[in-house]
Amino acid sequence: MRILCCLDGTNVEQLHNAVTKFAKEQGTLFGLLYVIDAGPKAEMERARERLLRRPGSPLLPHAEKVQQVELASAQEILNEGLRYFPGAEPLQREGKPEREIVNCAAEWQADLVVVCPRAEYGGKPEIGPKSVGHVARFVLDHAPCPVLLVRPIAREQFPISRKP
């Protein structure tokens, strides 16, 4: 079985806890995917364009540093993942995270994609509408294989209203 775990820098422990509960089968291969989001760079280019700077000329200030930090951060997140999933295959991509995840799942021939609803930066986990972010929603809609959505434990928020 090939299981692709989608890291976002905040969720490795959550994914590990969820997956190891049932992935005890011999020969299970884990893939750890981290996607460098190309969105922020596109936003910065758009801001430049509005201030009458054409793409590429003059160069985006600190472009090299931006790339270095993105790569270093991706590497750090993947290394952290490897501490939880020793022997897993690290996979790094750049682009729109949702599209890279489903494409990578197909290329890597994943049997299962494991993803969290959204990155959690602290605070209590949210349940209810919009608790699944656009990346996870896209993966649920477009993945080439079954998807395991690892929701945070939020039993203290239950029972929810039984009225429609």
Partner 1 sequence: MITLFTLVGIMVRPFRLDEAKIALAGAILLLIVGLISPLDAVRVLLSDWNIFFFFLGMMTLSALVDAAGFFEWLATQAARLAGNSPRRLLLNTFLLGSLISMILSNDATALILTPIVYVLITKLRLPVLPFLFACTFIADTASFLLPVSNPINIIVTSQFPLDLLTFLRLLFVPCLVVIAVNIAVFFLLYRRQLQGRFDSKRLSSPQETIPHKPYFRYTCSILALVAIAYIIATALQIPLSLVTLSGASLLFAGALFWKRSTMRDVSKHISWSIFGFIAGMFIVVQAFENTGLTDQFGKLLLHLSGGSSFGSVIVGTAGAAIGTNLINNVPMAVVLTSALHSISHAPLTVQHGFIAATIFGCDLGPNLTTVGSLATVLWLLILRQRGVDVSGLDYFKVGIVVTPIMLVVGALTIWLMLSL
Residue (2 or 99) nearer to partner 1, CB: 99
Residue (95 or 108) nearer to partner 1, CB: 95
Residue (40 or 146) nearer to partner 1, CB: 40
Contact set with partner 1 (CB under 8 A) = 9-10, 37, 39-40, 42-44, 46-54, 57-63, 65-66, 69-70, 73, 77, 96, 99, 119, 121-123, 126
Distances (CA, A) of 8 to 1, 28, 36, 96: 23, 22, 9, 13
How far apart are alpha carbons 24 and 3 in whole angstroms?
Answer: 12
Mutual orientation of helices 134-142 and 97-107 as an angle, nearest 10°? 30
Whether the CB-CB separation of 117 and 132 falls below 8 Å is answered with yes
Residue (22 or 124) nearer to partner 1, CB: 124
Give the strand order in the sheet containing 147-149: 89-95, 29-37, 2-7, 112-115, 147-149
Q: How far is the CB of 32 from partner 1 (least distance, A)?
A: 16
